[in-house]
């Protein structure tokens, strides 16, 4: 069960729990060592832990059993079991054989009660903040694991996020004595890391104040750019990337291709400060003849997607924005 209930869930404060020890006992005790069900494989997976292999079977309606080879952390999920394909259960050194029905459905998380069709696989989204994101266990760390770990005796697993997701937390899963998993991992899409900071461009258009509120609602802040290096990095790696498909449009409509950054002179004209740190803005990258406080009504700073330069603009203008978070 996920318990992400407040906005501080990112920083190791909120642990989530799923059942493990007690409910896994029947499964572990019925593993058949030195056996493998031959030629009934639906699909195979390399470099996964034994429990990942079992879960893969649980989320695949057609699966009835698994073969697992510890030496290569290799998993096969089968569409038969030893009842339905008795003659195919063969001696096979180094392999273990296990049946789906010996494992609790809970292990499949939100997929436990899915309506997936017989030829589908339910994509488990347990280790994510909400249903928009997806992250699955990628298996234990093969460099540090001991033999027992691979079939779950020590009940320690390492998880990591899929490509394209930023990982918060250590990724370590521990089975506690009360039979619950303890873990801190969460995976979020869209963040990009530069040194000790991560950044994410939001494509929805908001006025400056709403953009600032949005960043703060996710424990981030409207981006603060403190050096030429940071400005260049953000421009090249986030802003240009995003506007690449609109390159022609932007070259003719540069004022329609901008993102809010976290600076303004709302409180005192010409004294630009960053909204989160309240620091005076020292490094600047103004577009020519700016800031011009045009019509006495330009207090918020946007970055131009065409050049990475800055312009002061009315704060009620709606445009994209970039949030920044500090790691550690």
Residue 69 vs 202, nearer CB to Ca ion = 202
Q: Which is nearer to Ca ion, 135 or 304 (CB)?
A: 304
Q: Which is nearer to Ca ion, 138 or 290 (CB)?
A: 290
CA pair distance 194, 241, nearest whole angstrom: 15
Q: Out of 76, 80, 298, 302, name the contact with Ca ion by CB under 5 A.
A: 298
Q: How many residues belong to the chain?
A: 328
- Nearest approach in angstroms of CB 316 to Ca ion is 13
Told to check if 292 binds Ca ion by CB under 5 A, we report yes
Size of the site for Ca ion (CB under 5 A): 9
Chosen residue from 23, 141, 207, 290 binding Ca ion by CB under 5 A? 290
Nearest residue to Ca ion by CB is 293
Distance CA 261, CA 31 (A): 57
Residue selected from 47, 213, 293, 316 as contacting Ca ion according to rule CB under 5 A: 293
Give 20 or 198: the residue with its C-beta nearer to Ca ion: 198
Alpha-carbon distance of 136 to 72, in angstroms, equals 20
Contact residues for 306 (Cβ-Cβ < 8 A; gap 6+): 250, 251, 254, 257
C-beta of 129: minimal distance to Ca ion in Å?
23
Which of 63/234 has CB closer to Ca ion? 234
- By beta-carbon proximity to Ca ion, the closer residue of 47 and 292 is 292
Please give the structure tokens belonging to residue 11. 């920083």
Q: Which is nearer to Ca ion, 183 or 274 (CB)?
A: 274
What is the dihedral sign for C-alpha 61, 63, 65, 66?
negative
Q: How far apart are the C-alpha atoms of 50 and 52, rounded to whole Å?
A: 5
Q: How far is the CB of 123 from Ca ion (least distance, A)?
A: 35
Backbone φ, ψ for residue 253 (5° rounding):
-135, 60
Tell me which residues in 257-286 interact with Ca ion (CB under 5 A).
Answer: 265
Query: Which of the residues 176 through 235 are near Ca ion (CB under 5 A)?
Result: 224
E-strand ranges in the chain read 32-37, 41-45, 65-69, 74-78, 89-99, 156-158, 165-168, 172-175, 181-183, 186-189, 192-194, 197-206, 221-222, 258-264, 273-274, 300-304, 310-313, 319-326
- Distance in Å, CB of 310 to Ca ion, minimum: 9
What is the smallest separation between the CB atom of 291 and Ca ion, expressed in angstroms? 6
CA dist 112 and 156 (Å) reads 22
In the list 231, 299, 300, 321, the residue contacting Ca ion (rule: CB under 5 A) is 299
- Phi/psi of residue 194, nearest 5 degrees: -135, 115
Kindly list the residues in this chain that would bind Ca ion in the complex (CB under 5 A): 224, 265, 290, 292-293, 298-299, 311-312
């Amino acid at each position: 069960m996920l318990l992400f209930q407040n906005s501080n869930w990112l920083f190791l404060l909120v642990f989530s729990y799923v059942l493990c020890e007690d409910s896994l006992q029947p499964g572990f005790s019925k593993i058949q060592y030195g056996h493998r069900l031959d030629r009934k494989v639906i699909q195979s997976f390399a470099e996964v832990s034994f429990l990942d292999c079992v879960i893969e079977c649980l989320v695949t309606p057609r699966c009835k059993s698994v073969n697992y080879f510890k030496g290569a952390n290799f998993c096969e999920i089968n569409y038969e079991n030893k009842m339905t394909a008795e003659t195919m259960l063969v001696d096979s050194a180094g392999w273990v054989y296990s049946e789906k029905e010996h494992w609790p459905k809970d292990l499949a998380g939100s997929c436990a009660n899915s309506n997936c069709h017989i030829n589908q696989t339910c994509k488990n989204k347990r280790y994510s903040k909400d249903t928009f994101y997806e992250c699955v266990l990628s298996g234990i760390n093969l460099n540090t694991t001991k033999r027992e770990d691979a079939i779950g005796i020590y009940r320690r697993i390492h998880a990591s996020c899929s490509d394209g997701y930023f990982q918060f937390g250590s990724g370590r899963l521990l089975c506690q004595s009360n039979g619950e998993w303890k873990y801190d991992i969460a995976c979020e899409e869209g963040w990009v890391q530069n040194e000790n900071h991560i950044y994410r461009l939001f494509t929805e258009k908001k006025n400056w104040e709403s953009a600032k509120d949005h960043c703060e609602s996710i424990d981030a802040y409207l981006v603060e750019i403190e050096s030429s290096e940071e400005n260049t990095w953000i421009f090249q790696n986030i802003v240009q990337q995003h506007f690449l498909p609109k390159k022609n449009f932007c070259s003719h409509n540069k004022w329609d291709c901008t993102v809010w950054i976290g600076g303004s002179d709302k409180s005192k004209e010409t004294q630009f400060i960053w909204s989160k740190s309240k620091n005076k803005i020292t490094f600047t990258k103004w577009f020519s003849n700016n800031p011009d406080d045009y019509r006495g009504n330009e207090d918020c700073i946007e970055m131009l997607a065409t050049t990475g330069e800055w312009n002061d603009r009315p704060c009620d203008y709606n445009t994209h924005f970039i949030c920044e978070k500090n790691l550690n």
